[in-house]
């Protein structure tokens, strides 16, 4: 069927909390075309590289099609009955707190609502926590302490209207690219200044007026310095401060902090204080550099304090702005997905709230106190307190701190259920029961983005096999556990209606979360639901909160909370002299189960890497493209070295995206300890003391293949290419017969082989073909290999002997690693254009090659290329970007 006549359907991007609107057109053959929705208030048509490539990630090759139990395919009836029976039996024998759900900020609001209702109201335990504990928990706690509610005061328009945007622990250019584009547009239109506060130089620094590379974890000291300076310079807003309490105490505590803890030079501090204090329209955007810290909640309050003291909150172009990570991180907070909250911003610790929620649900139970937070939840799994666990839409075996310990706990748990799209995840592989969930393009529901805008996600594709939406699976288990009417939902609209009506209770208690305007919404209304920012219909408020006070503590005042700087819980010492920071890369989403399906997204940074400062590298004898062992008290990993001044001396940075599926030794969370913020329970993911050392291996190899290559060796990293896979390998064990080994690894025992190299000197190359068609090739060397990797990965149709030279023939172009993922433009193509004078600005590169003209995410890298250009700089940079040798 030709899909070109199928209508476009409005939906929301599957990835980050910006919540961009997308227009999806099914191609009638299971695929999709995707473009930005020009009418969506989050993006007005823009998309980043990940959103643009959504259509490349809806393939079915990896999907789980039937429920599985104990390693066998079973029907839904058996699977659901098994889950319901085992949970019921466990609760009967050991009480409701012997079971737990670990869910996700990527669930739809309707999924989340049902999970929360089942656990808190019907099972009667609060042991439901979410990966938002690793993500937003410190912000939730900080907001509640300051405002009496977990509410983001501002809106995206504030970014358009600000004169100063301060990014604290946020790599907005890569992690919220469409918001970053909005900030750049404001810079163009009104000269908005940008300050980045981040120990590391990131792509977000590219356009920044000021980059403060502070000591890790010293944000409280910095913002206490700002508060002190605000007071000293008479910039406190006395009228607004009357709507708050605590300023005096906060000033006193702040005055005792040492600004030197930030490690920042006086002139940079002065420049920051001047800018901040003299620019009323300031938005302070913050993200994981703030939240993921053992002082995360205090960092949040330190930021909020400066905005409260100056009254710069809830007014156009002003305010603290926590940007959410996952597409429904905000919806999950609203619907009460955390172990210490109830739905609709109601509190588990408030007896009246509990009673009202229980009555509304007509529930048999309601927990009297908060449940276990993520890190403690998995410790309770480990020590056998939790005996039945259901993990939905998240991959904790890879992304929880102490990932190996968490994996062992999951494996040892008496009964584990995982709901996922695929069996091929670190977590699903450990489960007793795996349930096939319907994916993003296959299910209906709502999500709330960073500025409280609720948008519809709409199903445009059929679910494959027996896959079912998460809400449906949860509701069915609820019914089978004996609560037939409470979970008798026929559609997500019905769930949304019940939830919206519930928010009336919250309004009665004076809570801000009110979407009761939707309590009567019918199927047609739900089908057509337009993006809507709550609070609904609050006239003149512009959707902002707190511009005129009206906080949600009992006295209606905000709290300016006294907070004192604390260093990270573990500091570098003789055994672990470096601080390891972790975070995201531009084109991958978390554990790559979806973005990893796209060859062009995978071409940006194709290996787990560790960024090391040149001086540290020199001292440790590490060169670019070497493999490096990184060790912490909880584990040891292997990463490709990138030598760069983007990180400071004594610091290293590694991305979070690699798993046992793609690079078993490149999993950063093996190394991260389970230390948490005492208030929020959020782990300290960005400051792990580690040691680093050169990995000395007798051989290194690069492979291209039609099928994935997964030998068990010390180092392996595999990504997709257009024609198959590319893999980097290294090991400590010598291999005697390389040809035989290659044939076994590739499962090509009978293929035709062409070989080259000098095995005696450790160099060996083999191309394996069938029917004249190249199936696989392996390049082995005693040193990291200088090859044209991107050219080879395209598996060009050239004679095997020529292929084995590792170089493109003179007339074929090696485009180099992909810089512009939208148009697939490679590094070398761009550098060629710069070198021949065709392109001397980012816009000129766009005009010549289209690079950077769609989502704009690569524009910082294009700028860097122009700065660094020289004919052989291409190879150096390629090396740094790609970890390999060009």
Number of residues that bind ligand SF4 (CB under 6 A): 14
Give the residue, chosen from 99, 118, 146, 178, that forms a contact with ligand SF4 under the rule CB under 6 A: 178
CB under 6 A: which stretch of 15-23, 349-357, 497-505, 672-680 binds ligand SF4?
Answer: 15-23
DSSP 683-697: B--S-EEEEEEE---
- Continuous H helices in 418-486: 470-480
- Rounded to a whole number of angstroms, the minimum distance from the CB of residue 11 to ligand SF4 is 11
Pattern 16-35, ligand SF4, x by CB under 6 A: x-xxx---------------
Gap between the Cα atoms of 699 and 733, Å rounded: 8
CB under 5 to 8 A by kind: which of Mo ion, ligand MGD, ligand SF4, none does 705 bind? none
Q: Compare residues 328 and 444 and give the one whose CB is closer to ligand SF4.
A: 328
Gap between the Cα atoms of 310 and 131, Å rounded: 34
CB under 6 A: which stretch of 195-203, 227-235, 704-712, 715-723 binds ligand MGD?
Answer: 195-203
Coil/strand/helix, residue 284: strand
- Rounded to a whole number of angstroms, the minimum distance from the CB of residue 711 to ligand SF4 is 34
Q: Compare residues 144 and 176 and give the one whose CB is closer to ligand SF4.
A: 176
Does 289 contact Mo ion by CB under 5 A?
no
Does 217 contact ligand SF4 by CB under 6 A?
no
CB under 5 to 8 A by kind: which of ligand SF4, Mo ion, ligand MGD, none does 18 bind? ligand SF4
Closest CA to 169 of 257, 48, 76, 300: 300
First to last CA, the chain: 43
Pattern 809-848, Mo ion, x by CB under 5 A: ----------------------------------------
Give the residue, chosen from 10, 25, 353, 393, that forms a contact with ligand MGD under the rule CB under 6 A: 393
Q: Which residues contact 508 (CB under 8 A, 6 or more apart)?
A: 356
Pattern 226-265, ligand MGD, x by CB under 6 A: ----------------------------------------
According to DSSP, residue 665 is labeled: G
DSSP 307-374: HHHHT-SSBTTBEEEEPPSSTTHHHHHHTT-STTB-STT-BTT-HHHHHHHHHHHT-S---SS----H
Q: Is the dihedral of CA 353, 358, 361, 367 positive or negative?
A: positive
Q: What is the CA radius of gyration of the chain?
A: 27
Q: Tokens representing 426?
A: 């670190």
Does 183 contact ligand SF4 by CB under 6 A?
no
Gap between the Cα atoms of 804 and 753, Å rounded: 11
CB under 5 to 8 A by kind: which of ligand MGD, Mo ion, ligand SF4, none does 224 bind? none
Does 288 contact ligand MGD by CB under 6 A?
yes
Does 457 contact ligand MGD by CB under 6 A?
no
Gap between the Cα atoms of 270 and 273, Å rounded: 5
Q: Compare residues 154 and 689 and give the one whose CB is closer to ligand SF4.
A: 154
Q: Compare residues 289 and 689 and give the one whose CB is closer to Mo ion.
A: 289
Does 331 contact ligand MGD by CB under 6 A?
no
CB under 5 to 8 A by kind: which of ligand SF4, ligand MGD, Mo ion, none does 543 bind? none
Pattern 125-154, Mo ion, x by CB under 5 A: ----------x-------------------
Gap between the Cα atoms of 507 and 505, Å rounded: 5
Gap between the Cα atoms of 16 and 28, Å rounded: 27
Q: Compare residues 177 and 317 and give the one whose CB is closer to ligand SF4.
A: 177
Does 531 contact ligand SF4 by CB under 6 A?
no
Q: Compare residues 471 and 487 and give the one whose CB is closer to ligand MGD.
A: 471
- Rounded to a whole number of angstroms, the minimum distance from the CB of residue 90 to ligand SF4 is 38
- Rounded to a whole number of angstroms, the minimum distance from the CB of residue 61 to ligand SF4 is 23
DSSP 115-174: HHIIIIIII----EEEGGGGTTHHHHHHHHHHHSS------THHHHH-SEEEEES--HHH
Region for 202 from its dihedrals, namely left if φ exceeds 0, alpha if ψ lies in -120 to 50, beta otherwise: beta
Cβ proximity of 792 and 806 under 8 Å: yes
Closest CA to 305 of 192, 210, 228, 234: 228
Does 325 contact Mo ion by CB under 5 A?
yes
Cβ proximity of 730 and 695 under 8 Å: yes
> In b/e form, how buried is each residue of 264-293, taking b as 16+ CB within 10 angstroms?
beeebbeebbebbbebbbbbbbbbbbbbbb
CB under 5 to 8 A by kind: which of ligand SF4, Mo ion, ligand MGD, none does 178 bind? ligand SF4
Gap between the Cα atoms of 201 and 743, Å rounded: 44
Q: Compare residues 155 and 218 and give the one whose CB is closer to ligand SF4.
A: 155
CB under 5 to 8 A by kind: which of ligand MGD, Mo ion, ligand SF4, none does 13 bind? ligand SF4
Does 584 contact ligand MGD by CB under 6 A?
yes
Binding site for ligand MGD (CB under 6 A): 16, 104, 106, 131, 134-135, 168-171, 174-175, 197-200, 202, 216-217, 219, 287-289, 292-293, 325-326, 392-396, 399, 419-422, 425, 437, 439-440, 470, 581-584, 586, 588-591, 593, 656, 668-669, 672, 685-686
Interacting residue ranges for ligand SF4, rule: CB under 6 A: 13, 15-16, 18-20, 43, 47-48, 50-51, 176-178
**Which positions lie near Mo ion, rule CB under 5 A?**
135, 325
């Amino acid at each position: 069927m030709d899909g070109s006549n199928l209508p476009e359907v409005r939906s929301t991007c599957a990835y980050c909390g910006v919540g961009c609107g997308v227009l999806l057109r099914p191609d009638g053959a299971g695929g999709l075309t995707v473009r930005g929705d020009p009418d969506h208030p989050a993006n007005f048509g823009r998309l980043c590289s990940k959103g643009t490539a959504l259509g490349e990630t809806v393939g079915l090759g990896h999907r789980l099609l039937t429920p599985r139990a104990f390693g066998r395919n079973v029907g839904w009836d058996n699977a659901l009955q098994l889950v319901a029976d085992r949970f019921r039996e466990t609760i009967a024998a050991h009480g409701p707190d012997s079971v737990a759900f670990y869910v996700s900020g990527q669930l739809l609001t309707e999924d989340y609502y049902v999970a929360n209702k089942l656990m808190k109201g019907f099972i009667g335990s609060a042991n439901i926590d979410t990966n938002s504990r690793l993500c937003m928990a410190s912000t939730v706690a900080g907001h509640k302490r300051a405002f009496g509610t977990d509410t983001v005061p501002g809106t995206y328009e504030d970014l358009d209207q600000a004169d100063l945007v301060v990014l604290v622990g946020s790599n907005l250019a890569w992690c919220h690219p469409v918001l970053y584009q909005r900030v750049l547009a404001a810079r163009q239109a009104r000269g908005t200044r940008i300050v980045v506060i981040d120990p590391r130089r990131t792509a977000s620094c590219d356009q920044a007026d000021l980059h403060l590379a502070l000591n890790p974890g010293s944000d409280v000291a910095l913002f206490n310095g700002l508060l002190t300076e605000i007071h000293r310079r008479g910039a406190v807003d006395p009228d607004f401060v009357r709507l708050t309490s605590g300023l005096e105490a906060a000033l006193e505590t702040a005055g005792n902090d040492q600004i030197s803890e930030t490690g920042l030079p006086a002139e940079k501090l002065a420049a920051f204080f001047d800018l901040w204090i003299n620019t009323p329209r300031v938005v302070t955007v913050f993200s994981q550099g703030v939240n993921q810290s053992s002082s995360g909640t205090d960092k949040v309050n330190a930021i909020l304090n400066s905005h409260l003291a100056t009254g710069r909150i809830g007014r156009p172009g002003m305010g603290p702005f926590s940007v959410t990570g996952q597409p429904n991180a905000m919806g999950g907070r609203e619907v009460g997905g955390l172990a210490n909250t109830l739905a609709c911003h109601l509190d588990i610790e408030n007896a009246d709230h509990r009673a009202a929620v229980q009555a509304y649900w007509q529930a048999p139970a309601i927990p009297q106190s908060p449940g276990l937070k993520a890190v403690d939840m998995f410790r309770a799994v480990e020590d056998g307190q939790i005996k039945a666990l259901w993990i939905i839409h998240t991959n904790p075996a890879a992304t929880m701190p102490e990932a190996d310990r968490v994996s062992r706990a999951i494996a040892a748990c008496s009964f584990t259920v995982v709901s996922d799209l695929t069996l091929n995840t670190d977590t699903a592989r450990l489960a007793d029961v795996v349930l096939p969930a319907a994916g993003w393009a296959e299910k209906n529901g709502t999500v709330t983005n960073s500025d409280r805008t609720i948008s519809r996600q709409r199903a445009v594709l059929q679910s494959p096999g027996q896959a079912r939406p998460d809400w449906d699976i949860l509701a069915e288990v609820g019914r089978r556990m004996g609560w037939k009417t409470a979970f008798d939902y026929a559609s997500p609209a019905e769930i949304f209606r019940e939830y919206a009506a519930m928010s009336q209770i919250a309004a009665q208690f004076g809570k801000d979360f009110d979407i009761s305007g939707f309590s009567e919404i019918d199927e047609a209304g739900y089908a057509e639901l337009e993006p809507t920012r709550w609070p609904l219909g609050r006239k003149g408020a512009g959707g902002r909160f707190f511009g005129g006070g009206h906080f949600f503590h009992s006295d209606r005042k905000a709290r300016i909370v006294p907070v004192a700087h604390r260093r990270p819980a573990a500091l570098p010492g003789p055994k672990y002299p470096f601080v390891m920071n972790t975070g995201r890369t531009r084109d991958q989403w978390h554990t790559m189960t979806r973005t990893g399906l796209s060859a062009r997204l995978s071409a940006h940074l194709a290996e787990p890497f560790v960024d090391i400062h040149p001086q540290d590298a020199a001292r440790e004898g590490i060169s670019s493209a070497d493999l490096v062992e990184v060790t912490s008290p909880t584990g040891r990993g292997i990463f490709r070295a990138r030598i760069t001044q983007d990180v400071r001396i004594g610091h290293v940075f590694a991305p979070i995206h690699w798993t046992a599926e793609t690079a078993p030794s490149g999993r950063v969370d093996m190394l991260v300890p389970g230390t948490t913020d005492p208030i929020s329970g959020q782990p300290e993911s960005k400051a792990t003391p580690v040691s680093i050392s050169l990995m000395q291996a007798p051989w290194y190899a690069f492979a291209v293949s039609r099928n994935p290559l997964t030998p068990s060796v010390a180092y392996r990293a595999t990504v997709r290419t257009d024609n198959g896979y590319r893999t980097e390998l290294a090991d400590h064990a010598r291999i005697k017969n390389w040809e035989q080994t290659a044939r076994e690894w590739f499962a090509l025992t009978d293929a035709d082989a062409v070989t080259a190299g000098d095995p005696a000197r450790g160099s060996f190359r083999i191309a394996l073909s069938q029917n004249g068609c190249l199936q696989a090739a392996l390049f082995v060397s005693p040193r990291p290999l200088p090859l044209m990797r991107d050219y080879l990965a395209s598996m060009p149709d050239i004679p095997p002997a020529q292929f084995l030279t590792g170089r493109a023939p003179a007339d074929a172009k090696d485009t180099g690693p992909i810089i512009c993922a939208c148009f697939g433009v490679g590094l070398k193509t761009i550098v060629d254009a710069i070198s021949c004078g065709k392109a001397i600005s980012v816009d000129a590169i766009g005009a010549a090659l289209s690079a950077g003209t769609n989502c704009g995410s690569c524009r910082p890298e294009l700028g860097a290329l122009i700065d660094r250009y020289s004919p052989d700089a291409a190879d150096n940079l390629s090396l740094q970007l790609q970890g390999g040798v060009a």
